[in-house]
Amino acid sequence: MDRVLITSAIPYINGIKHLGNLVGSQLPADLYARYRRARGDEVLFLCATDEHGTPAELAAAKAGKPVAEYCAEMWTVQKKLSDGFRLSFDQFGRSSSPQNHALTQHFAGRLDAEGLIEEVVETQVYSPADGRFLPDRYIEGTCPNCGYDRARGDQCENCTKQLDPTDLLEPRSAISGSTDLEPRETKHLYLRQSAMAERLRDWITTRVDWPTLTTSIALKWLDEGLRDRGITRDLDWGVPVKRGTQDWPGMEGKVFYVWFDAPIEYIACAHEWADERGLSQKDWYRWWRTDHGAHDVRYVQFMGKDNVPFHTLSFPTTIMGSGEDWKLVDYIKSFNYLNYDGGQFSTSQGRGVFMDQALSILPADYWRWWLLRNAPETSDAEFTWESFQLASNRDLADVLGNFVSRVTKFCRSKFGETVPEGGAYGPQEQALIADLTARIATYTAHMDAIEIRKGAAELRAIWAAGNEYLQSAAPWAVFKQDPDRAAAQIRLSLNLVRLYAVLSGPFIPDASRAMLEAMNADAAWPDDVPGFLDALAPGHAFAVPDNLFDKITDDQREDWATRFAGRRD
């Protein structure tokens, strides 16, 4: 049994996330967590809400609520939606937690002791119209590198180039749109990333199994010259600046930058997990401290490509630079963007399908299946309603759902609701078992490597193999002349239902559970495929499940395409 630590990029608290956000981190992380648990591994799967910084302050002000109250309410909303999508977090924490406050201040003190913090008097952008200093990401303008006209003051999301607000052409406030911006002096703390550049490069270049997308972005930033980065802001809401438990003279009234404290929440989330369950420090240290057993842990992160620089450079600088024995990530699975029906998903414009809207029209499995089978691993992907309808109808309803329905209903009508006795597996059945043994090995290899689209394609091929066998064997015709032969065919097919339930669990957990309950079977992994496909013996009771998947009609598709083309209410 291996120990696997899994973290998903933590979503901002300011609003409900769209499907592009979901498939860029949380959903594939859940897929992998479910798969590793199914294989018998010990898994700790962590996520949280990212609650600090200007986005939270502005969203709270718009809602007319104190920011702490707003964040608490939105945590509940996001937790409910993650449950609705069956995201199996062991802990869904909060970056505003006392544990994260303490750990963030601890790391700042350690980095300062190691000479990696510098106090800098700098000129920042102040907006008289907004009455505040503008954080980098709340200054927008045209990127001088690629010409994208909505680049932020910290990074262009189009070309991923690291920027300063002064680099932008025609800068404006992203809050008010005001172009009346003026420079003012203020003092902040900087993390001396440049001092860690070669150590980071040495570490990254040894990650030979990382996706090209991950390493190419990290090395691009290093090749451009890694800049020191401000880690404090002039804001009210956030982690107060301290050296550990001590005040930091000159930093009164300031908070740590959200991109400094947010990744530390991965660690704090494990602390929250332990505290809520009455566990001790050693119980969460064994996941995060290599001097307490975490050297045996495989740590895997999931994120969109825009988050890669912070997870490959800034957060590792914090971990390495602390001089303490914290666990570094072993593998970073990064994703490109999911676009929407000829354009882009947009939270600000309300364009696309958001998590609450998706669950209001269809259960989670429909969405999970399409998003994962089309995960934007090697390039951007595009959601279209036609593709969604096709995958739901052909894969889920026609291939998987139809197989389960035909097998269980035929058995009930001819043999009753128990696995039938009689006959033995013949050459046709043995050929299918051999084919499935090879296919399951391929499926397992893809899932081990976190090759999500390939895993989904192989899973569908496994479903299809059962349908092809059923069509060829035709037990409904065989039964008339040879009931024993038909009994053997149906016995294998019922065992296939259990097999499909187990293999499909990471992708479509609700359907998986329904199949297992109908088969009155456990979810043991099929390490011995021939034995597994003979495990539901004659006399084993089962039930005919409700229809697993309804087909999406053309009228539904057209209605949803119209409904979700513009702004959400």
Pick the closest to residue 334 from 367, 369, 301, 381 (CA basis).
Answer: 301
Predicted local confidence at residue 157, as pLDDT: 80
The two beta strands, 42-49 and 91-94, are parallel
Give the pLDDT of the chain (569 residues) as one tens digit per residue.
Answer: 899 999 999 999 988 999 999 999 999 999 999 999 999 999 999 999 999 988 898 889 889 999 999 999 999 999 999 999 999 999 999 999 999 999 999 999 999 999 999 999 988 889 999 888 887 878 999 999 999 999 988 888 888 888 888 899 999 998 889 999 998 899 999 999 999 999 999 999 999 899 999 999 999 999 999 999 999 998 889 999 999 999 999 999 999 999 999 999 999 999 999 999 999 999 999 999 999 999 999 999 999 999 999 999 999 999 999 999 999 999 999 999 999 988 888 776 777 899 999 999 999 999 999 999 999 999 999 999 999 999 999 999 999 999 999 999 999 999 999 999 988 999 999 999 999 999 999 999 999 999 999 999 999 999 999 999 999 999 999 999 999 999 999 999 999 999 999 999 999 999 999 999 999 999 999 999 999 999 999 999 999 999 999 999 999 999 999 988 865 54
CA 327/CA 319 separation, integer angstroms = 8
What is the model's pLDDT at position 165?
86
CB neighbours of residue 405 within 10 Å: 17
C-alpha 189: how far from chain center: 31
Tell me the angle at which helices 509-519 and 402-414 cross, rounded to the nearest 10 degrees.
Answer: 10
Q: What is the pTM of this model?
A: 0.92
Residue 327: burial class (beta carbons within 10 Å; 0-12, 13-18, 19+): buried
Sign of the dihedral defined by the CA atoms of residues 298, 302, 306, 310, in that order = negative
Fold of 384-532: Isoleucyl-tRNA Synthetase; Domain 1 (1.10.730)
Q: What's phi and psi for 404, nearest 5 deg?
A: -60, -45
Instruction: Provide the annotated binding site for ATP.
Output: 347
d(CA 510, CA 548): 9
Instruction: Report the distance separating Cα 305 and Cα 422, nearest Å.
Output: 56
Q: How is the chain split into domains, by residue range?
A: 3-134+181-335, 384-532
1: its two tokens = 């049994």
pLDDT at residue number 345: 83
Residues 6+ apart with CB under 8 A from 214: 207, 308, 312, 332, 333, 334
User: What is the pLDDT, as a whole number, of residue 286?
Assistant: 98
Q: What is the pLDDT of residue 341?
A: 85
pLDDT of residue 160: 81
Is 331 in a helix, a strand, or coil?
strand
How far, in Å, are 150, 344, 361, 438, 487 from residue 352 at the CA level?
A: 19, 8, 14, 39, 49
Indicate the annotated binding residues: 143, 146, 156, 159, 347
Dihedral angle sign, alpha carbons of residues 350, 351, 357, 363: negative
Residues with Cβ < 8 Å from 2, sequence gap 6 or more?
A: 36, 41, 42, 298
Task: Report the binding-site residues for Zn(2+).
Answer: 143, 146, 156, 159
Beta strands in 28-144 (DSSP E): 42-49, 91-94, 117-127, 132-133, 139-142
Q: Are 502 and 526 in contact (CB under 8 A)?
A: yes
Beta strands of 84-223 (E only): which ranges? 91-94, 117-127, 132-133, 139-142, 151-152, 169-173, 182-191
For the chain, the C-alpha Rg in angstroms (whole number) is: 26
What CATH number labels 3-134+181-335? 3.40.50.620
Count CA within 13 A, CB hemisphere, residue 439: 21
Report the C-alpha gap between 82 and 368 in whole angstroms: 12
